[in-house]
Structure 1
Amino acid sequence: MGTVNMKVLLLFALVAAAAAWPNFGFQSDAGGAADAQKQHDVNFLLHKIYGDIRDSNLKGKADSFDPEANLSHYSDGGKAVQKLMRDLKDNRLLQQRHWFSLFNPRQREEALMLFDVLIHCKDWDTFVSNAAYFRQIMNEGEFVYALYVAVIHSPLSEHVVLPPLYEVTPHLFTNSEVIEAAYRAKQTQKPGKFKSSFTGTKKNPEQRVAYFGEDIGMNTHHVTWHMEFPFWWDDKYSHHLDRKGENFFWVHHQLTVRFDAERLSNYLDPVDELHWEKPIVQGFAPHTTYKYGGQFPSRPDNVDFEDVDGVARIRDLLIVESRIRDAIAHGYIVDRAGNHIDIMNERGIDVLGDVIESSLYSPNVQYYGALHNTAHIVLGRQSDPHGKYDLPPGVLEHFETATRDPSFFRLHKYMDNIFKEHKDSLPPYTVEELTFAGVSVDNVAIEGELETFFEDFEYNLINAVDDTEQIPDVEISTYVPRLNHKDFKIKIDVSNNKGQEVLATVRIFAWPHLDNNGIEFTFDEGRWNAIELDKFWVKLPAGTHHFERKSSESAVTVPDVPSFATLFEKTKEALAGADSGLTDFESATGIPNRFLLPKGNEQGLEFDLVVAVTDGAADAAVDGLHENTEFNHYGSHGKYPDNRPHGYPLDRKVPDERVFEDLPNFGHIQVKVFNHGEYIQHD
């Protein structure tokens, strides 16, 4: 995919036991570096990425450091750094001021060579010295990618908050017209705030939902999720990514069903799945330009798929798809040695996710291919499939930009339907498997109106323009409309008649009540279209209890990443001994908290809201979940805390909805989401 996030949206409520995110005192690692100093270093390593490092200490390290001088500072004995230095000395590395794509095999290899160096650094001084040294030499895109994934996964940088990518590499997130205006502002030394708009006109019905795919928070979610769970991840780097394949399914499933809910809100049909043998219905004009390397390619409507030279033939994708569907029908995957891996169970989805993506966790990439990753490249290259025009990669070849193209959601609907085929092959849950004996949901209600609105969001473009230290910066920013919702609470009354305290998991979902033709969804149709709104654990003493859950507390969402300006300011305060105030920020892997609700419409889009209270003792994979408020989102290091499959108890087919409607531990109400056209404009 281009991680939903995605922060899918999602990619969705993936919960992995996380690094306790920023705790900005002066904690030290073995190397003695304080967290505030680490934050300072990362801020300056990523600021003005196309120019010199603007911190004299870091610049000094970059100029004087010899990466190979002391190999005892690396946990791999220096193997990774020697390999990278060899390619550097042989002039094999991509030059600076050139586009970077993770889907380009050689460019990915170079970025991962640097990641390999950083992840094996034993202390912060070695980590930051290498980062500073290679920042001056390597391609900027490769460097940014390597540093981000290293900071996310290295224990040395556990408490560092990464700045928003839309301020580090604004070209990938900002329309060309606005970038041009930013350059003019810099050249004339006149500060400017420029309005960004979405990429098209009202003549294109897809514009009605452009606020979703082109939202920079959604783009950040998607790219960050793919950094937390990279397809190239090998456990030798440090740790195993728990349930990575299933997370891949769920984050993109949630992106897909959320997109369909936005389409319903705007009187559009659900997105159709992509077919390799049919035209790509929607074209796309990105209106974005690489910092170096020309414009992102456009694609007209109704283009027929062509083979992409050096990447894949369409018939090969059809063969790989048929092999995957055969595996689902057989109920097993064949690994490289010819052994059968049973997937007719609740963990089968994890194997299937690894196969479809395909990640290095795939048990047989030679036979099952890399459907997802190859499809992204093939779809992204349809503007220039034979390389006649030497066009740079399309938006689908970057996780930052992929969700901007409506065909992204067609591609993921196609893969989501393959996952559904597998899920529907599993036996439905029995009443016994769904019941939480002695526990009942007595009442579910909403406090506050479920109402969405649009607001302007401003971000800085200082990193978009070239500059020198001799010319002072001027304030340059852009503002763009984005979806938000008013605060609300979900109120739940639960009775525990067991006579003793129990741990309970509370799972909250919602799906549209009617389809695009005004026909009521069956329960089975609805549950596959369910948006995960929240999941949390509570201790239930005997008796009746009233819970209120604020929308802002949702486990599937995260707040906006602090801006560069905020990070600089808070870091300065922390270095002076003050509390930085950054402790509230989680990983950027969840969907933006303002995207919790779909847009809805003036009449009120009706949703079925369901609450399932299940046995926390059976569900919990780690202890203390009822006390932990920090890691109920998409994830980070460690074990995924919920034993149940993503989407449980709605992840399997429901032949008879009375099974659910008669469950005492299941609550079901209907609600409406309104959008009255309110727009909070920029001052």
Structure 2
Amino acid sequence: MKVFVLLALVAAATAWPSFGSDSLQGYQSDAAKEYSVKQKQHHVNSLLWKIYDHLHDAELKEMADTFDPEADTSIYSDGGDAVHHLLQEDKDHRLLEQHHWFSLFNPRQREEALMLFDVLIHCTSWDCFVHNAAYWHEHINEGEFVYALYTAVIHSKVAEGVILPPLYEVTPHMFTNSEVIMEAYAAKMKNTPGKFNMAFTGTKKNHEQRVAYFGEDIGMNTHHVTWHMDFPFWWQDSYGHHLDRKGELFFWVHHQLTARFDSERLSNWLDTVGELHWDETIVEGFAPHTMYKYGGEFPPRPDNVHFEDVDGVARVRDMLIMESRIRDAIAHGYITSKDGSHISIMNEEGIDKLGDIIESSMYSPNIQYYGQLHNLAHIMLGRQGDPHGKYNMTPGVMEHFETATRDPSFFRLHKYMDNIFKEHKDTLPPYTKEDLEFAGISVEEINVDGELRTYFEKYEFDLRNAVDSAEGIEEVELKAIVPRLNHNDFSFIADVNNNNDAEKLATFRIYMCPHFDNNGQAYTFENGHWHCIEMDKFWKKLSPGNNHVIRKSSESSVTVPDVPHFQSLIDYADGKSEEIPEHYSACGIPNRMLLPKGKENGMEFALILAVTDGEHDATHDHDEESEHGGSHAQCGTHGEIYPDKRPMGFPLDRRIPDRRVFDQAPNFKYSLGSYFFVSYC
């Protein structure tokens, strides 16, 4: 993944020519027209600002009014097939109207959004891309447009360098309590600026309120939805490239979300999250206190609901059958492909195939047989408030990646699927000394420089896109203030001996594991390894002799910094600010959430460092300065092969019946007897 930096504007933008109605059919794209990254950024900013209004930008409005998408099909790599199809759907009045809710889990609405994505991804120039985006901004449902534009910018080469504004400032109602939205509307009507405190959902009567700061964190929500845009389940290689190890990444990113949630629960005197079962009650209900821009409130779910069939979607028995078939495949050690052949999963690649099946990915070898466990599960949970459509309720929070983690059932669902993955991992042979060792390398010490201390801070984000605008009425400042978890800066410090005569490239793998469960019972190496959270993974060249390695917490390949505010992107693209926002992706755990909250008097964690052979691990030549896009550990490297050959979670991903294998590996260090305390202040 490349680090994108907005480039300085070299020359003034050439005025876009006006096309009258007589010249539409003769429109030819100016393929040679050059757009700076700054101009592209301005276009994307203008397309996403006040998404529910008509275009305000004069240049884009002229594009929308005068552009004929079919006039010149040479501007598309598919000869215009995608745009012909979408235009026909529009002419036949089959597209979802504007000012209506959108859910990616709704098959027809997803199909329409992907029709637009198909058009944009086949544009061979930014000229084609922005003209189509402007045109369809005025013709297609707003939610479908936002989804198609975001995924197209992420995956299209012609959009390289563009920074997407944070979704929580583009569609704030999906990330904000409805009470705050109503306060913002009231302030807007009075034309009075306002800042509004946003509380987490629930009260002290609900013990899940203790960990709401994790599931409702807007940065965590952004990471979750962005990961599913980087690795969409509907992706096909015909769009331009293969998403390497997509199924395994699905497993790993959700396993880590669940493990981190468990550490947050332990930080708040709660048991680790339990898995849900299709034939048992959903113990915890949820009242989202969140509203759609159009469509009303997100529906609540009461406590102790029994799963019911969802009309037109899935029956409870369907879910049990899919689960049974997947577990049978794990027990047999192979999956049955569409042509009836057997594909072994008793190897390092098996988790990737299993992930494709469970996620309901288009990469699944046999969707018809193994079904769509993950996607249907989200819909089943989202609809339990109105499973038969009796009240015509809108989709629940579980039917949107932006809002899913707000619901405690999200983590119960993913603990359920995580346990299926663990069942597979436990069938694989444990790692041997030969699998673990790195000849001539020994870790003498692993430590931390700086206090592991967490705290809550207040964060402000823009609400102006949540409210309506009127021509001639000046915008007023509207902001939400939300508490969010953060931590003091710290560094990992390791002393590693290279007893070889030559320099060696090493992979550093750092994990942190809770020492006690909620009952004060110590985790053993065997039953605790699945709860470990990945803190960092990076490459370092080791000189012969002793190497003192320092790695800052801010450099972690697991995390990303905050996405630049929408207004900062506007100011820079419009020349009002010289500050260059440096950002590469919103996919990654927020850096401020690298540490779990811990407890007031400290919470014990074990620190684990595995130093493995970087030459063996690396999928391609690189030096120690390469960070592969920054957040490669959970988000890969965009458009490239995953940089690490080892299984994700190595060497803690398999069962550990005898920890002496690790004790005898000098390149492995476990902080036994010197636990690290994470304290909350």
Normalised to the residue count of structure 1, the TM-score between the two structures is 0.95
Preserved contact between residue 452 and residue 673 of structure 1 (Cα < 8 Å): no
CA distance in 2 between counterparts of 1:625 and 1:375 reads 42
Separation in 1, partners of 2:418, 2:41: 39
One-letter code aligned to 1:325 = R
Name the CA distance, whole Å, in 2 between partners of 1:469 and 1:593.
40
Counterpart-to-counterpart distance in 2, 1:630 and 1:57: 36
Cα pair 2:246 2:352 within 8 Å, conserved: yes
Ranked by relative contact order (alpha carbons within 8 Å, sequence separation 6 or more), the top structure is 1
- Provide the secondary structure at the position in 2 that maps to 1:626: coil
- Give the conservation status (yes or no) of the 8 Å contact 1:25–1:579: no
What is the total number of aligned residue pairs between the two structures?
656
CA distance in 2, matches of 1:311, 1:663: 51
Paired with 1:31 and 1:111, the residues of 2 have a C-alpha distance of 28
Q: Equivalent residues in 2 for 1:516-535 (5 A)?
A: 516-535=518-537
Tell me by how many angstroms 1:638 deviates.
1.3
- Give the structure 2 partner of residue 289 of structure 1: 291
Work out the CA distance in 1 between the residues paired with 2:613 and 2:471: 60
Query: Partner residue of 1:19?
Result: 2
**Distance (Å, rounded) in 2 between the aligned partners of 1:294 and 1:625:** 53
Partner residue, 1:643:
645
Partners of 1:515 and 1:347 lie apart in 2 by 32
- Aligned position for 2:627: 629
C-alpha distance in structure 2 between counterparts of 1:672 and 1:363, whole Å:
44
Task: Tell me the alpha carbon deviations over residues 427-457 of structure 1, each in whole angstroms, 9 at most, x when there is no partner.
Answer: 0011011000100111111111100000011
Match of 1:211 in 2: 213
Q: What per-residue deviation string (whole Å, max 9, x for no partner) do you get for residues 171-222 of structure 1? A: 1000011000000111000100000001110000000000000000000000
Report how far residue 581 of structure 1 moved: 1.6
**Are the equivalent residues in 2 in contact too, given 1:22–1:158 (CA < 8 A)?**
no
Report the 3-state secondary structure (helix = DSSP H, G, I; strand = E; otherwise coil) of the residue aligned with 2:569. Answer: helix
Report the CA distance between 1:33 and its aligned residue: 1.1
Which residue in the other structure is 1:505 paired with? 507
**Does residue 636 of structure 2 align to residue 658 of structure 1?**
no
Secondary structure at the counterpart of residue 482 of structure 1: strand
Q: By how many angstroms is 1:662 displaced?
A: 2.2
**Where does residue 12 of structure 1 map in the other structure?**
none
Tell me how far 1:624 sits from its aligned partner. 1.1
Name the residue aligned to 2:477.
475
2: CA distance between counterparts of 1:121 and 1:356? Answer: 32
Deviation per CA, 1:494-540, whole angstroms, max 9, x where unpaired?
11011101110000001100111111111022211110000000111
2:90 paired residue among 74, 88, 91: 88
Letter of the 1:485 counterpart: H
The 2-side partners of 1:407 and 1:521 are apart by 25
Is the aligned partner of 1:134 residue 2:132? no
Counterpart code for 2:268: N
1:417 to 419, 438, 441: 419
Please list every run of 5 or more consecutive structure 2 residues that lacks an aligned counterpart in the other structure: 12-30
Letter aligned with residue 581 of structure 1: I
Q: Is the 8 A contact 2:628 2:643 kept in 1?
A: no
One-letter amino acid of the counterpart of residue 654, structure 1: I
The residue type paired with residue 124 of structure 2 is K
In 2, Cα distance between equivalents of 1:494 and 1:27: 48
Instruction: Name the residue aligned to 1:47.
Output: 49
The match for 1:328 among 321, 327, 330 is: 330
| AA at the equivalent of 1:20 | V
Equivalent residue in structure 1 for 2:570, among 562, 565, 568: 568
- TM-score normalised by L of structure 2: 0.95
Deviation at 1:316, TM superposition (A): 0.8
Is the Cα contact below 8 Å between 1:608 and 1:671 reproduced in 2?
A: yes
Cα distance in 2, alignment partners of residues 572 and 404 from structure 1: 35
Q: Quick one: which of 651, 667, 672 aligns to 2:676?
A: 672
Question: How do residues 582-601 of structure 1 correspond to structure 2 at under 5 angstroms?
Answer: 582-583=581-582, 585-601=583-599
AA partner of residue 593 (structure 1): N
Amino acid at match of 2:335: I
Which has the higher mean CA deviation after the structures are superposed, 454-463 or 23-32?
Answer: 23-32
1:632 CA displacement: 3.9
4+ runs of 1 displaced by more than 2 Å?
A: 19-31, 670-677
Inter-partner Cα distance in structure 1 for 2:629 and 2:469:
40
Secondary structure of 1:455's partner? strand
In structure 2, the residue matched to 1:608 is: 606
Aligned 8 A contact 1:586 1:630 in 2: no
Identity %: 64
Amino acid corresponding to residue 164 of structure 2 in structure 1 = L
Larger deviation, residues 519-528 vs 246-255: 519-528
Aligned to 2:68: 66
Q: Which residue of 2 aligns with 1:459?
A: 461
Matched ranges for 1:356-435 at <5 A: 356-435=358-437
Q: Is the 8 A contact 1:436 1:615 kept in 2?
A: yes
| Structure 1 residue aligned with 2:78 | 76
Structure-1 separation of matches of 2:663 and 2:569: 49
Conservation of the 8 A alpha-carbon contact between 1:342 and 1:348:
yes
> Matched residues in 1 for 2:327 and 2:624: separation?
40
**Residue type of the alignment partner of 1:22:** V
For 1:555 and 1:19, locate their aligned partners in 2 and report how far apart those are by CA, in whole Å.
14
Q: For residues 106-137 of structure 1, what are the alpha-carbon distances to aligned partners after superposition, in whole Å with 9 as ceiling and x for unaligned?
A: 00000000000000001101100100100011
Please give the per-residue CA displacement for 1:376-416, whole angstroms capped at 9, x wherever unaligned: 00011000000000000000000000000000000000000
Shift of 1:326: 0.3
The structure 2 residue matched to 1:347, chosen from 349, 369, 378, is 349
SS at match of 2:210: helix
Alignment partner, residue 15 of structure 2: none
Does residue 158 of structure 1 match 2:171?
A: no
Structure 1 residue 27 displacement after superposition: 8.9
Whether the 8 Å CA contact 1:598–1:673 is kept in 2: the answer is no
Mapped to 1, the partners of 2:591 and 2:32 lie a distance apart of 36
Of the structure 1 ranges 404-413 and 512-521, higher mean CA displacement relative to structure 2 is found in 512-521
The whole-number CA distance in structure 2 between the counterparts of 1:390 and 1:135 is 28
- Give, as a single letter, the amino acid of the residue that structure 2 aligns with 1:671: Y
* Counterpart Cα distance in 1 of 2:338 and 2:403: 34
Distance 2:9 2:500 in 1: 47
**What do residues 323-372 of structure 1 show as CA deviations (whole Å, max 9, x unaligned)?**
00000000001000001011000110000000001100000000000100
Alpha-carbon distance in 2 for matches of 1:262, 1:119: 40
The answer to whether the 8 A contact 1:75-1:121 is kept is: yes
Q: Secondary structure at the match of 1:425?
A: coil
SS in 2 for 1:379: helix
Q: Partners in 2 of 1:106 and 1:377 — Cα distance?
A: 14
Matches within 5 A, 1:116-127: 116-127=118-129
Displacement of 1:163 after TM fit? 0.2
Q: Which residue in the other structure is 1:258 paired with?
A: 260
Shift of 1:23: 4.7
- Separation of aligned partners in 2, 1:152 and 1:26: 22
Looking at structure 2, the residues matched to 417 and 236 of structure 1 have their Cα atoms a distance apart, in angstroms, of: 33
For the residue of structure 1 that corresponds to 2:505, the secondary structure is strand
Q: Which amino acid aligns with 2:585?
A: S
Provide the alpha-carbon RMSD of the alignment.
Answer: 1.3
In the aligned structure 2, how far is the partner of 1:630 from the partner of 1:129?
32
Structure 1 stretches lacking a partner, 5+ long: 1-17, 678-683
Q: Describe the shift of the 1:23–1:544 C-alpha distance in structure 2 as closer, same or farther (beyond 3 A).
A: farther
Aligned partner of residue 627 in structure 1, secondary structure: coil
- 8 Å CA contact retained: 1:571, 1:580: no
Whole-Å Cα distance in 1 between the matches of residues 10 and 414 of structure 2? 42
**SS of match in other structure, 2:489:** coil
Task: Tell me the secondary structure at the aligned position of residue 481 of structure 2.
Answer: strand
For 2:5 and 2:387, how far apart are their aligned partners in 1? 45
CA distance in 2, matches of 1:671, 1:568: 46
CA separation in 1, counterparts of 2:208 and 2:328? 34
One-letter code aligned to 1:169: T
Counterpart CA distance in 1 for 2:364 and 2:41 is 35
2:562, 2:133 → 1: CA distance? 26
Shift of residue 579, structure 1, vs aligned partner: 6.1
Q: Which residue of 1 aligns with 2:275?
A: 273
Give the partner amino acid of 2:460. E
